Structure 1
Amino acid sequence: MITHPIPSSVRTYRALALPAVVAVSALLLTGCGGAAPAAAPGSARGASSEPAPPEGAKEAQARTPRLVLTHDAGITVLDAKTLKPVGGAELEGFNRLNPAGDGRHLLVSTGDAFRVFDAGVWTEAHGDHGHHYAGEPRLLDRAFAASKAGHVVRHAGRTVLFNDGTGKVESFDPAGLADAVKTGLPATEVYTTPDAHHGVAVGLPGGKLLVTLGNDKGRSGIAVLDAAPEGGSSQDRKEIVRNEDCPGVHGEAVAAHEAVVVGCENGMLIYKDGKITKVASPDAYGRMGNQAGSEKSPVILGDYKVDKAATLERPKRISLVNTETGTLQLVDLGASYSFRSLGRGPAGEALVLGTDGALRVIDPLSGAVTSTIPVVAAWEESETWQDPRPTLFVQGTTAFVTEPAQRTIHAVDLKTGKVTKSAQLDVVPNELSGVEG
């Protein structure tokens, strides 16, 4: 890997001491999901002596967005404006971060649970204005029990959890997490797919639910189910439509006008206006398993892989699927990228972080690369997908990019196309997410 010296403008901050109340015992990796929780998941809904709201929380003049990143010993939280650390939690093992959908909490996939992490910032609406608060981040003694905790999807006012080990789908209103400490987790609607598989589910307007189809031998497509009958069980949902022409179905994204997509090994499925349509790849094997959508654009940004036998393919083309026209465009970037390289800008721009260290801004309709912004040193993707690698996360008009080899994080102003701030970390960053507060 090519490295470069840390610029003198990069400011160094020492990590804050982690509060004892969030320390948990060492965890073992389980399957592809990560580590087991410190507390028994079944006890997470019980009473707790934790204070709520967090001790030391103060009213702020404005929203206080924060970044949340994982490392091999836990979770670190940064102020998104200053990049200074403001807290964190100890949590050993490989853990995955998922915004919970309320602008405050994240769900940490730890293998046999989705643990609730409070990033410590939130806004309380009061009619025509809101009150903003900032406090200490903490890992709560609250968890949704899981078997191989998988994808977390936020859409249509619902947060949906998928258990790869059982096919259990749990759906809930993320607003209920605000009272998780005092009253327990929000009530969930539970639906279980006919067979367990590495899948995903998406909540749709009107209470409908999109679920993947598959079993331990493979995955084949999606089905859309109607809302649970009033007074009945969520398991009594009736199927509206299905499509099984999607081998290896993986991932999901939402585009403008409620178009929901999933990737296939030979194209992409689009669910829109009650119908499922297929956009085929130009190659017999043309996998689009990772996608990034934007409500500002009808176009879905996806990866594009053509070598089914590769241990790790390092593609140099990305896919742009127009959900209105049902057309696919492939764009050659001249550099490879990873599954953590895809993002969308505030106006729906397609963003791709290349292994040459540059962030490309792409017009999703034309496929033209409108700007190329140097951010990090050139890097090579590891064959182990859990390993740290430069990661892109977009919050508002700022693109944040980690540089694990240098233990740094960079903030890119998407309006000016310039790196405006960089900071050195005391940990090697892995996953990166955030909340708006």
Structure 2
Amino acid sequence: MISRILNSALVGVCALALTACSTGSDAPAASDPTTTAAAEGHGAVAGAEELAEPRLGLTAIDPDGAVSHLDLLDESVTDIGEIGAPSAITTDGRYLFAQTEAGVEVVDSGVWTWDHVDHFHYYRADPRLLGAVDGGGEARIATTNLSTSGGTGVFFEGSGDAVLLDTEALSKGEVSELFRLDAEPGPGMVVSVGSFAVVAQGGTAVGYTAEGEPTGLDEACPEASGTITTRVGAVIGCSDGALLATVVDDELTVERIPYPAGTTAPPATSFDNREGRPTVAALAGSEGVWLLDTRERSWTLIDAPAPLVHVTAVDDADENVLALTADGRVVVMSPDGAVLAETEPLVAESLAAGATPTLVADQQRAYLSGPSERRLFEIDHADGARVARTFDTATEPAFTAETGR
């Protein structure tokens, strides 16, 4: 993507800078290095620089597997390397987990944020390709908000392998498994929760230690689908609601959050939000949008203003929601479903062609990829959904992730 996307073609045209090929001048404020990361427990890794502000970027993999990183501050592009041709990616804001013929290949963008609840730490290191996790069939990947500790879950639907990766080892450049369990082939998830994990498959959610030993937790979760981690805990979607997994007094616990009584809307199957925030959003089929407040343990169903293909909870002071419509517009919605602002149809061509644009939100901006349009959009969702910058790409930006957040 952004590699062959924005590398030789754009570098040659733009004289090693993307400014001339983008619109607007609203780059984030500069992030000056302040120290060499050394503090334990704050997301530090040996050899990384600690920064005063997050160094946000768009890390991408093109259809042939070329990996690159666009720095959103200075608009420079770094080619990271080549992996196999990807069919899907998942990200935690630092790593990209790409599904290829080799299994799941892991890319380290080299930029990350450590959420310390009342403050944040920001880091930058060299980006690199880390290797692959073996497994058969489609992989379901569950990340957390911490990129230097805990675990990352991978479930291979074809082989039934349930894998918990060591995220601390990833931060040191190693692909290491904390456990690999044999499960039944089919849909499933491995969800990291502190020093534990929950394997959801076959109608149940079972707890394990990081060493793969059962904890005794065994909860019903029919048709498990979709997971996300907030500051409150890890959400696991079920057809009758959601499970909220947390660690209390060093023990893995699960709370059930059922859908409102009498609801007939389809269940949530995929969640998204501004990373770490308590409220998450999901499509309720074609009927509306589910909002799950993990602090209040409550669901809210709001009407969709138009047919939607993706939603994400910004969870700001106004509790706004962003949505991508089926005709390619980005819509800013209030928590009662009112449309506050919207863009023009930015990615209509991609959606008409069956491509999958990526929409991701952070505190200040949203980023939208247009594969068929060969363009990336930066949107100020708090300023009337204004398109702040655009980045033209030389090839199809099919797999894009915002990193450094």
Q: What's the TM-score, normalizing by structure 2?
A: 0.72
- Name the counterpart of 1:301: 281
Deviation at 1:92, TM superposition (A): 5.3
Summarize the alignment of residues 234-249 of structure 1 with structure 2, pairs less than 5 Å apart.
Answer: 234=212, 236-244=213-221, 246=222, 248-249=223-224
After superposition, give the CA deviation of every residue in 1:184-208 in whole Å (9 maximum; x if it has no partner): 4234223333x12221121113x33
Query: Could you tell me which residue of structure 1 aligns to residue 393 of structure 2?
Result: 425
The whole-number CA distance in structure 1 between the counterparts of 2:208 and 2:159 is 21
2:229 is aligned with 1:254: yes
Residue 333 of structure 1 is matched in structure 2 by 304
What's the RMSD between the two structures over aligned residues?
Answer: 3.8
Q: Would you say 1:173 and 2:166 are equivalent positions?
A: yes
In structure 2, relative to structure 1, the CA distance for the partners of 1:277 and 1:64 (3 Å cut) is closer
What SS does the aligned partner of 2:346 have? coil
Contact 2:50 2:122 in 1 (8 A): yes
Counterpart contact for 1:69–1:77, Cα < 8 Å: yes
| Greater Cα shift, 328-337 or 60-69 | 60-69
Asked if structure 1 preserves the Cα contact closer than 8 Å seen for 2:103 and 2:132, the reply is yes
User: Which of 280-289 and 426-435 deviates more?
Assistant: 280-289
Cα distance change, pair 152–368 in 1 and its aligned pair in 2 (3 A): same
Give the residue type in structure 1 aligned to 2:331. R
Q: Which amino acid in the other structure matches residue 420 of structure 1?
A: A
State the partner residue of 2:95.
105
Q: 1:222 corresponds to which letter in structure 2?
A: T
Structure 2 distance, partners of 1:317, 1:14, is 37
Structure 1 pair 108–344 and aligned structure 2 pair: CA distance change class (3 A)? same
Task: Give CA-to-partner distance per residue, 1:72-97, whole Å, 9 cap, x none.
Answer: 22234212235553224444534322
For residue 311 of structure 2, the aligned residue among 336, 339, 342 is: 342
Q: In the alignment, does 2:67 pair up with 1:67?
A: no
Residue pairs, 1:154-169, within 5 angstroms? 154-155=143-144, 157-169=150-162
CA offset at residue 223 of structure 1? 1.3
Q: Which runs of 4+ in 1 moved over 6 A?
A: 57-61, 128-131
1:394 paired residue among 361, 372, 380: 361
**Aligned-pair distance for 1:397?**
1.9
* 1:192 aligned onto 2:182: yes
Tell me, which stretches of 5 or more residues in structure 1 are unaligned? 1-12, 18-52, 215-220, 306-314
Structure 1 residues 325 and 185: alpha-carbon distance in aligned structure 2, compared to 1, 3 A threshold: closer
Question: Which position in structure 1 is the counterpart of 2:8?
Answer: 16
Q: Retained in 2: the 8 A contact 1:108–1:114?
A: yes
Aligned to 1:43: none
Structure 1 residue 67: deviation in Å?
Answer: 0.8
C-alpha distance in 2, partners of 1:357/1:331?
Answer: 20
Three-state SS of the structure 1 residue aligned to 2:8 is coil
1:369 to 2:335 alignment = no
| Distance across 1 between alignment mates of 2:243 and 2:376 | 35
SS at match of 2:232: helix
> Which amino acid letter does the alignment assign opposite residue 305 of structure 2?
G
**Closer, same or farther: CA 343–89 of 1 in aligned 2, 3 Å:** farther
What are the residue-to-residue correspondences of 1:273-292 with 2, within 5 Å? 274-279=254-259, 286-292=266-272
| 1:241 positional shift | 3.1
- The one of 372, 375, 382 equivalent to 1:415 is 382
Q: Which residue of 2 is the match for residue 119 of structure 1?
A: 109
Question: SS at 1:406's partner residue?
Answer: coil
Instruction: Name 1:320's counterpart in structure 2.
Output: 291
Cα distance, 1:383 vs structure 2: 9.0
Q: For residues 255 and 60 of structure 1, what CA distance do their matches in structure 2 show?
A: 24
Q: CA deviation at 1:149?
A: 4.7
Give the structure 1 partner of residue 129 of structure 2: 139
Kept in 2, the 8 Å contact 1:104–1:122? The answer is yes
Distance 1:333 1:268 in 2: 20
Asked if the contact 2:89–2:96 (Cα under 8 Å) also holds between the matched residues in 1, the reply is yes
Question: What SS does structure 1 have at the residue aligned with 2:281?
Answer: strand
What letter matches 2:103 in structure 1?
A
| Distance in structure 2 (CA, Å) of the matches to 1:134 and 1:282 | 51
Q: CA deviation at 1:374?
A: 0.4
Long gaps (5+) in structure 2: 10-45, 246-252
The verdict on how the C-alpha distance between 1:331 and 1:166 changes in structure 2, with shifts beyond 3 A counting, is same
CA contact 1:112–1:149 (8 Å) conserved in 2:
no
How many Å apart are 1:356 and its aligned residue?
3.6
SS of aligned partner of 1:289: coil
Mark the CA change 1:277 to 1:394 in structure 2 (over 3 Å): closer, same or farther.
Answer: closer
The 8 Å contact of residues 308 and 323 in structure 2, kept in 1 or not, is answered as yes
State how far apart, in whole Å, the 2-side matches of 1:92 and 1:427 are.
Answer: 17
Query: Per the alignment, do residues 383 and 239 of structure 1 end up closer, same or farther by CA in structure 2, a change over 3 Å counting?
Result: farther
